[in-house]
Amino acid sequence: MDAFFDQIGQFIQTNQDWAGPIIFLLTLGESMLIIGILIPATALLLLTGGLIGTGTLSPWSPLIWGIAGAIVGDAISYAFGRWLGPTMLRRWPFSTQRTAVARARLFFSRYGFASVLMGRFLGPFRSTVPTVAGIMAMKHTRFQLANVISAVLWVPAMLTPGYLAARSAGALQDTQHAGLIIGFVLSIVFGLALIVMFLRKRPQAANGRSRRR
Query: Residue 151 — pLDDT band, cuts 50, 70, 90?
Result: very high
What b-and-e string marks burial along 45-84, b requiring 16 or more CB atoms within 10 Å of the CB?
A: bbbbbbbbbeeebebebbbebbbbbbbbbbbbbbebbbeb
Domain ranges of the chain: 2-212
Under 8 Å between Cβ of 157 and 163:
no
**Taking phi first (over 0 means left), then psi (-120 to 50 degrees means alpha), and beta for anything else, what does residue 170 get?**
beta
pLDDT at residue 32 greater than cutoff 90:
no
pLDDT at 94 over 90: no
Residues 190 and 176: their CA atoms lie apart, in Å, by: 21
Most confident stretch, 71-85, 90-104, 182-196: 71-85
Taking the C-alpha atoms of residue 37 and residue 30, their distance in angstroms, rounded to an integer, is 7
Answer whether 51's CB lies under 8 Å from 11's CB: no
**Burial of 4 (C-beta count, 10 Å sphere; 0-12/13-18/19+):** exposed
How far apart (Å, rounded) are the C-alpha atoms in residues 124 and 46?
Answer: 18
* Max CA pair span of the chain: 64
Q: Does 11 or 187 have the greater pLDDT score?
A: 11
pLDDT band at 66 (very low <50, low <70, confident <90, very high): very high
pLDDT band (50, 70, 90) for residue 210: very low
Judged against a pLDDT cut of 60, whether residue 171 lies above it is answered with no
User: Do residues 73 and 29 make contact, with C-beta atoms less than 8 angstroms apart?
Assistant: yes
Rounded to an integer, what distance in angstroms lies between the CA atom of residue 17 and that of residue 194? 36
**What integer is the mean pLDDT of 43-56?**
82
The residue-averaged pLDDT of 3-15 equals: 72
Pick the more confident residue, 195 or 208: 195
* Whole-structure pTM value: 0.75
